[in-house]
Amino acid sequence: MEGMTTSDAHAEPRLPTVAVKAGRPEVQPDQPLNEPLVMASTYVAGGAVEYGRYGNPTWAAFETALGALEGGRAVSFASGMAAISTILDLVAPGETVVAARHCYQGALVQLASLEQRGLIKVVLVDIDDTDQVLAALNDDVALLWIESPTNPALEVADLPVLCAAAREAGVTSVVDNTFATPVVQRPLDLGADVVVHSATKYLAGHSDAVIGAVVTRRDDIWRAVDEKRRTMGALPGTLEAWLALRGLRTLHLRVERAQSNAQELVRRVARHRAVDRVRYPGFGGIVALEIAGGAGAADMVSGSTRLWVHATSLGGVESSLERRRRWTSEPLTIPEGLVRLSVGIEDVPARRAGRLASRRAGDRCSGVGTPLDSAMRARRHPRGSTPGRDALGDLSGRGGERRLLAGSGGCRCEPSRPSPRPARPGRSPRRRAVFAQRRIGAGRGARDQADQHLVQRKPHGSAPPRGRRSATCRHRRSDLTSS
């Protein structure tokens, strides 16, 4: 190819090519391009698989592709929680697990359950406080459980430092890479021993399959995990593995688009008066907003959208949102008014167009036509007394303009009310910490790529204190867990 050097020709394929090519059948006449959906409980004796609990060609294709993306060998599971539980089951009785205080609540529930049964000890740490994590890595520790960014606090861990320290201390490090995906960070390259995924989210990416995976370069761990799957039987569904594999083919495109939408959203809501604090690590498609007015206002926001779906889970092509503390198992250190946004891949009309449309409609609210306007109404009208439904429009705008972030005709601001100034984060002296990850897919840690972890807080806002400052995680066990 013109302009291609010899070294380019032999370079490792880059992530988009891996996503498209890995885990396909051999290229031969009349072979399908895609691995077929193989439905089988039983195989003819004498081969490598023998029985449906021991293996399946469709799972294997998904595992090959995911392994190539993360740079290790994958074992797929019935769900992200099945993958997590399998890894935790490798911890010997009496050993200690150091875990992120704000990691996914299902993992926290599982850790608490194992501890209550006297099987393990759990030490919760603020994963973005590197010194605190390092200090916790004593001789009793077997496992360091990292999630980065965390769900839903969006804290970012210093993966290279933590994984190196864990290795030095003989501690196995595990990174839940569900939020970042290998498009943004590859923890195995950064020193982690194990990656876990809720492939239900970005990897499968279409909100239609529940599936999980473990990826590692360590043969001992791979064998132990594969053995656990055979004996405990937390198998992925064949259809789910097929769907997840199909999802992987477009992972990079979806993540890039969700990320650019999220970055634009953060720019637009940065100084919205209904928001006390914006949490965004600068990369990925998940944003958390701490809504002024707490639970009632946040419920109002999540319950009043049209284009945005009020739903748990994340990482699908569609934009969705929910107030996390509606789940009783969410740690109490997560603010009541925190709404987690999973930004989808819909279109984002130019802000100017949205504002013009807004003016044309005689609407004085020229800011972002987001559900945040609902929160403002909720503040003016306490819960239960809020007039009207659907409050002030959606990220879609209204009047047939199915637009994301349009900030247009959907606003029902009282005409007399002064317009909120549109966010101009770059010009505001109040703007505290803003960083933009310039590119994605770099080999370095996501945290390294950032100038600074973007956690914006209004200086005079009413945001509750950050979770990490709370002395203990008063995590409640409950049957109610979410995703």
Ligand X SMILES: Cc1ncc(COP(=O)(O)O)c(C=O)c1O
Q: Where do contacts with ligand X occur on this chain (CB under 6 A)?
A: 79-81, 104, 106, 147, 151, 176, 178-179, 198, 200, 210, 212, 483
Q: Looking at 73, 101, 104, 447, which residue is catalytic?
A: 104
Instruction: Please state, in angstroms and rounded to a whole number, the distance separating the CA atoms of residues 31 and 24.
Output: 10
Considering beta carbons, is residue 104 or 222 the nearer one to ligand X?
A: 104
Residue 189: active-site member: no
Q: Looking at 101, 201, 229, 351, which residue is catalytic?
A: 201
- Contact by Cβ (8 Å): 203, 249: no
Q: Looking at 24, 43, 53, 167, which residue is catalytic?
A: 53
DSSP single-letter state for residue 325: G
Residue 176: active-site member: yes
Count of CB atoms situated within 10 Å of the CB of 189: 17
Residue nearest to ligand X (CB): 80
Considering beta carbons, is residue 228 or 379 the nearer one to ligand X?
A: 228
- Tell me how far, at minimum, the Cβ of 420 lies from ligand X, in Å: 32
Q: Specify the DSSP element, H or E, that contains 247.
A: helix 238-248
Considering beta carbons, is residue 178 or 366 the nearer one to ligand X?
A: 178
Count of CB atoms situated within 10 Å of the CB of 421: 12
- Tell me how far, at minimum, the Cβ of 160 lies from ligand X, in Å: 20
Considering beta carbons, is residue 146 or 368 the nearer one to ligand X?
A: 146
At 23, list the tokens.
């885990």
Instruction: Please state, in angstroms and rounded to a whole number, the distance separating the CA atoms of residues 100 and 94.
Output: 19
Please enumerate in sequence order all residues whose Cβ is within 8 A of that of 370, keeping only pairs 6 or more positions apart, or say none.
268, 269, 272, 393, 394, 395, 405, 407
- Tell me how far, at minimum, the Cβ of 212 lies from ligand X, in Å: 5
At 178, list the tokens.
């569900």
Q: Looking at 176, 193, 363, 394, which residue is catalytic?
A: 176
Instruction: Please state, in angstroms and rounded to a whole number, the distance separating the CA atoms of residues 265 and 279.
Output: 12
Considering beta carbons, is residue 212 or 284 the nearer one to ligand X?
A: 212
- Contact by Cβ (8 Å): 196, 87: yes
Helices (H), 271-428: 294-303, 351-360, 372-380
Instruction: Please state, in angstroms and rounded to a whole number, the distance separating the CA atoms of residues 101 and 104.
Output: 9
> Per DSSP, which regions of 209-327 are E strands?
212-216, 275-279, 286-291, 309-310, 320-323
Count of CB atoms situated within 10 Å of the CB of 419: 15
Residue 51: active-site member: no
- Tell me how far, at minimum, the Cβ of 225 lies from ligand X, in Å: 16
- Tell me how far, at minimum, the Cβ of 453 lies from ligand X, in Å: 18
- Tell me how far, at minimum, the Cβ of 37 lies from ligand X, in Å: 20
CA dihedral 394, 179, 338, 464 (to 10 degrees): -140
At 91, list the tokens.
């911890």
Considering beta carbons, is residue 202 or 308 the nearer one to ligand X?
A: 202
Q: Which residues sit opposite 147 in a β-bridge?
A: 176
**Buried (b) or exposed (e) across 116-144, using 16+ Cβ within 10 A?**
eeeebbbbbbbbbebeebbebbeeebbbb
Strand-strand pairing, 212-216 and 73-77: antiparallel
Residue 458: active-site member: no
- Tell me how far, at minimum, the Cβ of 178 lies from ligand X, in Å: 4
Considering beta carbons, is residue 82 or 357 the nearer one to ligand X?
A: 82
At 238, list the tokens.
């064949």
Considering beta carbons, is residue 59 or 179 the nearer one to ligand X?
A: 179
- Tell me how far, at minimum, the Cβ of 86 lies from ligand X, in Å: 12
Burial class of 219 by CB neighbour count within 10 A (0 to 12, 13 to 18, 19+): exposed
Residues forming the active site: 53, 104, 176, 201
